[in-house]
Structures are given as C-alpha cells and as structure tokens.
Chains A and B, each alone.
Chain A
Amino acid sequence: MEDVSAKFVSQKISRTRWRPLPAAALQPPDLFATGSWDNEDNRISIWSAGDLGNAGLNGEYHGEPHLLCDIQHNGDVMDMQFLDQERIVVASSTGAVTIFRHHQNNQTLSANHRWEKAHYHVDQDTSCGGAACTGVVCNNPEIVTVGEDGRINLFRADQKDAVRTIDNADSSTLHAVTFLRTTEILTVNSIGQLKIWDFRQQRNEPSQIFSLAGDRVPLHCVDRHPNQQHIVATGGQDGMLSIWDIRQGTMPVSLLNAHEAEMWEVHFHPSDPDHLFTCSEDGSLWHWDTSTNVSEKPSFLHQGGRSTAYLSHSTINQSVVSAWLSNDPTKDRMEITNLIPNQTLSVNSLDVLGPCLVYGTDAEAIYVNRQLFA
C-alpha cells in the first residue's frame, strides 16, 4: 500500500469521482471531484491527483492530492457523477439537482443549471417539501435521479423541465440508480428490491421486480457489468454483495458475505470487469478479483480495455462470461483483498478508473491509489 497518498481535508467526504478520460487517452486519470456531507457548509471540490511532473523513474508518483477549486453546495452531497469532461451532476439532501461546470482554463467551478425541487414530499409548494435526492446517473445528455420520496426523474441537461417523472415509483426510499441500457434503468430500494424501469413504456410501473428472499434487507448500491449487461451487482445493509442475472429468475444468483455493515458503493472496474470494488460503513474497502480463478486465462490487466482477441476463443469465452455468475464461493476461486487494514470510520465512496482508485471517508480524508494492479 505504499502507493497510496492520503490527504486530510477537514470535511467528511460523501462522494469521490474521477473525471472521465477523453476517448483514446493513454494517460491515467489526473483529476477527481469530491463532495462533502454533514457540514454546515458543504462543498464540491476538484482535486488534482498529484503532480505528474514528479513521476519517478519507476513510474511512482509523489505528492498528495491538491485542491484546484471548490464551490459551496447547499445541503449534503448525496451522489454525484460527471456528465462529461467539464460538467458534474450533484444530488443534494435538499432535493435539488445541480449541474456544476468546471472551467479548466481558470480553475473555477460554477453552478450551470439547477432543478430546485427535483425531489419533494407531498406538495411542491409547501415549505417542508424537499426530499433528499439519493442517487443520480447520467448518460449524456440524459440524467436520471431517484430520491427518498420514491420518485424517479428523467432530465435532459439542456432542458429546463423534467422530461419524465414517475411519482410514487416506489413506496419506500430509492437508494441508487444506474443505467441498464439507454432507455432502461435499474433502481434499488430500502426493502431489498431491484427494479427495472423502461422509459419507452408509458405505464408508471417497473417492467420487472427482483427481490431478496426473506429479510428484505435494504439495498444501498447497484452497478452493472460494463460488458455483460445482464450481470448486476448490488450491496446491502448487512454488507452482503449480491450478484444478479436479470435474464433469469427473480432472486440473486449468488449472495456473498462481505462487509460487517452497510455497503455504500459497488463498482465493476470499467475496463477490467473481472475486478469489483466495494466499500462500507465498517471502514473497509474490498477488491474482488475473479481473474485469477481460471489459471489458463491470460490476464487482461494493463491493456487499457477489454481485449476482444481473447474472447474469440470459445472455451475461454465461456469462462469469461461466467466469471461472476458461476461463481461458487465454496470453491474459493475468488481472490478478495481488503485494501484498508486499520480504518475505523466509514468509507463512503470509491471510484476506479484505469489503474487508479480514489476513496473518501468519514475520517475526513481522501486517498488515491495510483497503482491498483501493481
């Protein structure tokens, strides 16, 4: 863990996100954004991951992250995501959804557009109205938000009003949302359900409902396999990681015992989906690696993307397809590493891109690991 640089930032971090790389970029990501929560004065900040100019001979980077610019944000930052290279969509506990623009020439942030009461209780005009917006996902120019009010909003970055709103989509709190395909989204809620919504349908009903059997453990996060869209991972209140195959059944394919407390985020590695990362309230961050389980399969690491050449071979193809689904925990074919040995306070957020990992904690620190697969 020598490659991890830490910085104490005097605010509890609720979200960290790498700025997406332009297509065909070869460099590792260098900029990330953070959002804070539970402060009197919450902020969105843009950080430089460390000075590239200081790269040592063997490719190590030195220097801690340093602040480029920040801006005040009304309410806790509940979720955020980059819309493109310059714009960040931020969900607030006040129910507002804001697009911030990062001006790279003079390193400033400004509010670009705001939907003031995207999420609200009862009546949009009453004073008690705002309901926390808990999740946001973008697929430029579309933005989907979900909230404690059980509402789903579909916005377009360039339009003032919501394109589509599903009131009372869920009777409990929606905790997270992600895109399944361009017109379909996945949501998870506080009674252990995973729902698929299709915006092409005019009906305000989910097209499919999946649920955990038994205890209705709330689900807090969801991510979809980047290449195999039917594989979905969710994390729950009991720290359990569930893998779902949305082509079949209504229950998860596998339930993997993981953290001791709420799993706040789960992310497949965008270009190496054999790797999965989860973080939790118990202060741990786990790296799940299924790439080591098939010994004959060559490693895809450090190739900057999925390698289609390997997939042409049918037997290997088979093993790749089933890497997550066929996974049987008893066979011990998955390698799991806890990346934070002595942490005590919650790790609220993580993001992976290329060989880099960034995460933020309630201990008011952000950490950057630039050599994830070293």
Chain B
Amino acid sequence: MDELDTEPPLVVVPGADPSARQLCFAWGPAEVLVCETLFGRAGQGGRCCRALTGSIAGTGEGAPSSSRVFVVRRDQDIYIQTLRKLFNESHGIFMGLQRSEEELAGKSRKAQLVQVSKNYRSVIRACMEDMHQAAVSTRDPALQGQYSTQVSILSAMELIWNLCEILFVEAAAAGPLLLRLLDWVRLHVCDVDSMVREVLSSESPSKHKLFWNVVDVFVLQGRMDEARHLLSKEASANPTSMNMYKILDDLMKKMPVPSLGNTQTLTELELKWQHWHEECQRYLQDGTFASNPHMESICKILLGDEEAILEKKELMTTWYHFLVTRLLYSHPTVKPLELRFYAQSSMDLFLGGESSPEPLDLILMAAFEFEMHQVIKECSIVLSNWWFVAHLTDLLDHCKLLQSHNLYFGSNMREFLLLEYASGLFSHHSLWQLGVDYFDHCPEYGRVYLELHIERIPLSTEQKALKVLRICEQRQMHEQVRSICKIMAMKALRNNRLGSALSWSIRAKDAAFATLISDRFLKDYCERGCFSDLDLIDNLGPSMLLSDRLTFLGKYREFHRLYGEKRFPEAARLLLTLMTAHIAPCSFWMTLLTDALPLLEQKEVIFSAEQTYELMRCLEDLTAGNPDKQKFQDDDVETTKVEMLRLALARNLARVIVKEGTVEGS
C-alpha cells in the first residue's frame, strides 16, 4: 500500500468528547457511526470494540452521555440545497456523454468533448451565481459565510476545470495555447474588474488616479485594443507628448499575436515577433519614453522584462496571471510541454519565498506539468465533494487519457471515483435516483453497488416502491425485486390489506407468501362466513396458478359464485373436484363437506350416485385418516356435523339410486 502523503484531516464531532471517553465507530455505506464508549481515556484500544455493541444497542447501562450515537457524513456537500442543481443538471450532461459513443472520429469528436466540458463549466457557473445570489439575499451571517465559502470553492473548481479543458481535453497546440490561456486568465482574474469599471465610468478617465493601473491591467492581460483606446484619450489631453503616445500606440498595434486559423506558421510568427521585439528594444534604449515612467514601464512589459512585470504584482494578484503575461511577452509560441518550466519559475518568482503555495496553486501546477493523476488526487483531497473529480475523470477518460492507469484496488480510477460519488448520492434521502445512472456506467462494480444500495432505500409509499421496483426490473435484479415486493406485501399484511398484500406477492411471483395470504383469506372466511376483497379474488385470472392455496381460494370462491347463481350441478362438481384432486388443504375438507350439505338437501337430486360415493369416501378419509381423533369425539358440534353429513349422504344416495334407476329404466 502507498504511504499517505498528507495527514488525514481531523474531523470534530460536535457533542462527542474524545478527551473524556474513547470513541468507537462503524463504517456505513456513506457515513460513519461514532459513539462514545464506556471506557475512559486510560483504557486500551482493543477494548473499545467490545463496548461498541453495548452502546449502539442503547441499553443505557453506562453513563447517560454514552448512549448517544453520532452519524458522521463524509460527503457533506450533497446536503447543500443549491448544489442539488449542480448534481441534477450535470447528471443530464453525464448521461449525454455516455450515450455519445465514439461514432465521431478525430476533430468532430474533440469538438464534441470540448462542448461537453463547456457545458459542465456553465453548470458550475450557473450554480455559482445562484449561490452568490443566496449569499447576498440572506441576512444570517453564518449562512452568508457558508454561501461565500461555497462560491469560492465553485469558482476554484471552475478555474481548475477550465485549465484542464485547455490542456487535456482540447490539447491546444503552440500558438492557440497562449490565446486560450489568455482567455482563461481574463475570465478568472476578476478582482480588477471593479477598478476598471470605476475608471471607465468616471467623467474623464485620464484624470482618474487609477488610470494608469487600468492601462496596465489591459496590457498585462493582452487586451491591446482596450489599452490603446484608453491611451488615445490621455494623448488627446496631452498634445505635447503626442509623438510618444503615437509610437507606443504603434508598437501595441503591431504586436504580432498567434492566430487561431492556420494563416501563418509558427516560424513566420516567431520571425515577426523577433522583429517587433527588436523595435521595442530600440525605442527603450534611445530613451523615447524616458520622460514618462508609466509609458516606459509599459514598454518594458512589452519587452517581457520580468522585473517590470513583477512590479505590477498587485494588479495580477496570482502567479498564474504572471505566468501567462510572461509567456505573452517573452514566449508567445510556447509549446505545451515547455509550460512546466515557466510555470514553476513563475510561481517561485511571484511568491518569492514569502508565502508557501496553497493547495489550489499545487493543483494548477500539476496541471501545467501535465500530471493528470496528480491533479485528480490533489482535488480529491482538497475539495469537499466527489462531484468534481468524478465528472472530470470521466471526461478525461472519454478523451482516452487515463487508460493506462490502474489502481491496486477496485477497477480503474474513473470507476472508483464514480462509485464514490454515486454512493454519496445514495446516502441522500432524495438524490438516490441520480446515483442509479452513475452505477450503470461503472462496468465492473456498478451493479454490485447498486444491488447493495437499492435495498436500503426506505419505501415510504407504494409509489416510491414502484419507482425502486422499476429500477430493479429494468436491470433484471430479481433478488431485489423479490425483496421489495415482499417488504410491501408484509406492510400491507400488517395493515390488514390482504388484497394489496396478495397483489404484491403475485407481482413478486412469491408462491410461499401467496399461500400465507390465501390462508388468511380462508381463515377470515371461516370466521366471518363471507369473503372480503371479492373484487380481487374474482379477478385473479392466470395469476391464480401461482400457488396451490391461491388456486384453491380462487376455485372455492368460484364455487360460491356458482352456488349463488343457483348453478347447482356445476357447483357440486367443482366442490367434489376440489377434494378429490387434492386442491383443498385437508384442514378445509370439513368446511367443504359442510358446504355440500345444502346441496344434498335440495329438492332435486344434484350429486350422482358416483359423486355421493366419492363424498362419503372423503368424509371417511377425513374422520379415519385424522390422527387427532380425540378432537372429533370431544367436540359435540363436530360430531353432530359428521352425523348430519352421514345422514344427508345416505338420504341423497337413496334418492339418487331411485332416480337413476328410474331414468335408466324408462
């Protein structure tokens, strides 16, 4: 196993007091249960496991303080209301990316991937705006602080994502690379925007005290047209130094920039740039700008003078701005792989040993060094959610950049991170539905994870159960389908909803449970003398064949219906079949025979001689075959019943012999 390269962060559980008592814990799918043990600080580590069971059971044997169990959630960002937009919207993009398989080749595939990346970023930005709005509109200072933190985290995520998009997804080549980086800096260094706005909106910008700062900002960000526009205002106010302005303006205008199209080759650009650079050098050396320190420093910046650029440190605010400015004015045709040297030295120069790099700096540095895995690793450690790394890794994987890398655990990094993210979603009471699709796209362990998680979804209503069931049925997860239906059937049974319970067990094709419920129906019938839930039993259809008992229930009800409709011969035949074909459980035979009584007592003869013999045999089987003979002898009612049956059968036999004899004889 690798060594840990950072100290694991300390999590303080509010309310728990580790200084007084030892804490113990148990892992859950996405959270940890922590509780205080009975043991004081002095106890040995090994003993805390034994205490665990006692505490969780909550028997309250120990001190009152030890009966509390804390749930420590790992993926806390999942619970932030505003971020749910991020999760939901990005889920759609994620699904789109998985569907867009590689039918497109080369350029169009790359364009597609860049578009996906941009979509992800726009979702982050939209979420950031919402969060910002929330921060502005809330009055609660604690909440405001929380929102502001989230805004800065989201903004850092977007910054990193954008850089990864330029370097990895788009993989911009020398030339366009610099333009992309310039855009990146312009988009993200917005601390100076308010200053620019203030100066531009003042009555005469050139008189404003921050005028030159704004010009510098434009130059540092390579926004030449805007810088020239401002300078022209200053020039018109100072006719004496007109010439100087003209020269600077000319230099800025002529500065060669890489073009996005293929109109010029890199060598051409380098030649032009060399020429322009020499021209600037000449003007600086002959002291053209000596009279105006501002313009002289601009000229030095144009020449890529590091000292001069570093002087504007406050205007750049970050080392990566410095890096891009430096590249713009000294190495405009920088190649992707050379970036790392400039990045490292820029950071060293900018920070100048005064401050150590922050985690964000290290992540960006890793990106400039094309250490993709380092970027993902650092992000996983620093960011408080799995959303970012899971989606970024998935995108990079679709760019075919991560294939060589296999972890010593799980399958590959993409799948590992997606599993972590989706598990987090599943621990949320409402976002679990999103997690399902993520698991679907984890080829190796996704299904196992889904199976384990889906069983733990609380089924509060039938509608929710149906949704979970649909997820399982679509994926042929028979075991889970069975268990969900069983849970629902059990619930219905507990609520005395036999009809519902039967429906659920029919859906699960759970024969044993259907038998159990059928028995309940029959028991209810024996007690009350009438059937409940007729609408269901009358409409069982083919599902009646699920279990023997259910078949019997359906058929027995059919007997009652026939009887009610006065279709006696059919009813009699059915009743007899129920016993002779052993569809009816033995315990129910007595009831069936009793049901035969009124048929035997009808005016016209219904049972044929043969049928009567069968009935008699059934009765004898029942009385003789029953090992529990005592029951019949002890119970007066039962004895009377048997006697009455025998009498009725004998009388029926007499009548039928006469009748059959007459019919055949005539």
Minimal beta-carbon separation of A237 from chain B (angstroms): 8
A37: B residues at CB distance < 8 A? 463-464
Q: Say yes or no: B461 contacts A93, CB within 8 Å.
A: yes
Closest B-chain residue to A170, C-beta based? B535
Minimal beta-carbon separation of B517 from chain A (angstroms): 12
CA distance A262 to B467 in the complex (A): 9
Binds A, one of B251-259, B403-411, B537-545: B537-545
Minimal beta-carbon separation of B438 from chain A (angstroms): 11
Q: Say yes or no: B536 contacts A172, CB within 8 Å.
A: yes
Binds B, one of A21-29, A301-309, A340-348: A340-348
B462: A residues at CB distance < 8 A? 132, 134, 148, 173, 190
A215: B residues at CB distance < 8 A? 541-542
Q: Given contacts A10-B81, A128-B495, A132-B463, are A172 and B503 in contact (CB under 8 A)?
A: yes
CA distance A344 to B440 in the complex (A): 13
Q: Given contacts A148-B461, A149-B497, are A344 and B92 in contact (CB under 8 A)?
A: yes
Residue A191 lies at the interface, judged by CB distance under 8 Å to chain B: yes
Q: Say yes or no: B500 contacts A173, CB within 8 Å.
A: yes
CB interface residues, B 472-513, toward A, < 8 Å: 474, 494-500, 503
A365: B residues at CB distance < 8 A? 88
Residue B285 lies at the interface, judged by CB distance under 8 Å to chain A: no
Q: Say yes or no: A346 contacts B495, CB within 8 Å.
A: no
Q: Given contacts A39-B430, A171-B532, A171-B535, are A150 and B84 in contact (CB under 8 A)?
A: no
Q: Given contacts A150-B497, A171-B498, are A342 and B92 in contact (CB under 8 A)?
A: yes
Closest A-chain residue to B494, C-beta based? A128
Q: Given contacts A128-B495, A171-B500, A344-B95, are A191 and B536 in contact (CB under 8 A)?
A: yes
CB interface residues, A 1-59, toward B, < 8 Å: 8, 10-12, 37-40
Residue from the set B95, B494, B497 with the largest chain A CB neighbour count within 10 Å: B497
Q: Say yes or no: B532 contacts A168, CB within 8 Å.
A: yes
Minimal beta-carbon separation of B205 from chain A (angstroms): 34
Residue A181 lies at the interface, judged by CB distance under 8 Å to chain B: no
A261: B residues at CB distance < 8 A? 470, 474
CA distance A107 to B222 in the complex (A): 50
A214: B residues at CB distance < 8 A? 541-542
Minimal beta-carbon separation of B599 from chain A (angstroms): 27
Q: Given contacts A121-B495, A172-B500, A342-B96, are A281 and B467 in contact (CB under 8 A)?
A: yes
Residue A186 lies at the interface, judged by CB distance under 8 Å to chain B: no
Residue A76 lies at the interface, judged by CB distance under 8 Å to chain B: yes
Residue A251 lies at the interface, judged by CB distance under 8 Å to chain B: no
Residue A166 lies at the interface, judged by CB distance under 8 Å to chain B: no
Main secondary structure of the interface of B (DSSP, over half): helix
Closest A-chain residue to B87, C-beta based? A364
CA distance A40 to B431 in the complex (A): 11
Q: Say yes or no: B539 contacts A216, CB within 8 Å.
A: yes
CA distance A345 to B433 in the complex (A): 8
CA distance A76 to B458 in the complex (A): 13
Residue B460 lies at the interface, judged by CB distance under 8 Å to chain A: yes
Q: Say yes or no: B535 contacts A193, CB within 8 Å.
A: yes
CB interface residues, B 525-576, toward A, < 8 Å: 532-536, 539, 541-543
Residue from the set A211, A214, A218, A364 with the largest chain B CB neighbour count within 10 Å: A364
B463: A residues at CB distance < 8 A? 37, 76, 78, 132, 134
CA distance A170 to B498 in the complex (A): 11
Residue from the set A10, A39, A190, A346 with the largest chain B CB neighbour count within 10 Å: A10
Q: Given contacts A38-B430, A93-B461, are A364 and B503 in contact (CB under 8 A)?
A: no
Closest B-chain residue to A169, C-beta based? B535
Q: Given contacts A78-B463, A171-B535, are A364 and B500 in contact (CB under 8 A)?
A: no
B495: A residues at CB distance < 8 A? 121-122, 128, 131, 149
CA distance A12 to B461 in the complex (A): 15
A342: B residues at CB distance < 8 A? 92, 95-96
CA distance A362 to B463 in the complex (A): 13
Residue B85 lies at the interface, judged by CB distance under 8 Å to chain A: yes
Minimal beta-carbon separation of B642 from chain A (angstroms): 35
A216: B residues at CB distance < 8 A? 539, 541, 543
Closest B-chain residue to A9, C-beta based? B85
Residue A363 lies at the interface, judged by CB distance under 8 Å to chain B: yes
Q: Given contacts A39-B430, A214-B541, are A10 and B84 in contact (CB under 8 A)?
A: yes
Minimal beta-carbon separation of A43 from chain B (angstroms): 11
Closest B-chain residue to A6, C-beta based? B89
Residue B437 lies at the interface, judged by CB distance under 8 Å to chain A: yes
Minimal beta-carbon separation of A152 from chain B (angstroms): 13
CA distance A346 to B468 in the complex (A): 12
Residue A209 lies at the interface, judged by CB distance under 8 Å to chain B: yes
B497: A residues at CB distance < 8 A? 121, 148-150, 171
Q: Given contacts A8-B85, A149-B497, A191-B539, are A171 and B461 in contact (CB under 8 A)?
A: no
A170: B residues at CB distance < 8 A? 499, 535
Q: Given contacts A131-B495, A191-B503, are A8 and B88 in contact (CB under 8 A)?
A: yes
B337: A residues at CB distance < 8 A? none
Interface string of A126-139 (1 = CB under 8 A from B): 00100110100000
CA distance A191 to B543 in the complex (A): 11
Closest A-chain residue to B432, C-beta based? A38
With A38-B430, A173-B500, A363-B91 given, can you name 18 additional A-B contacts, CB distance below 8 Å? A38-B464, A121-B495, A121-B497, A132-B461, A148-B461, A148-B497, A150-B499, A171-B499, A171-B535, A191-B535, A191-B536, A216-B539, A216-B541, A218-B503, A281-B467, A344-B91, A344-B95, A362-B467
Could you list some 25 contacts between A and B, CB below 8 A? A8-B85, A8-B88, A8-B89, A10-B85, A11-B430, A37-B463, A39-B429, A78-B461, A93-B461, A132-B462, A150-B499, A171-B499, A171-B533, A171-B534, A172-B535, A173-B462, A191-B535, A192-B539, A218-B503, A261-B470, A262-B466, A345-B434, A362-B467, A363-B88, A363-B92
Residue numbers of A with Cβ under 8 A of B are 8, 10-12, 37-40, 76, 78, 93, 121-122, 128, 131-132, 134, 148-150, 168, 170-173, 190-193, 209, 211, 214-216, 218, 237, 261-262, 281, 342, 344-346, 362-365
The 3 closest A-B pairs by CB, nearest first: A171-B499, A171-B533, A121-B495
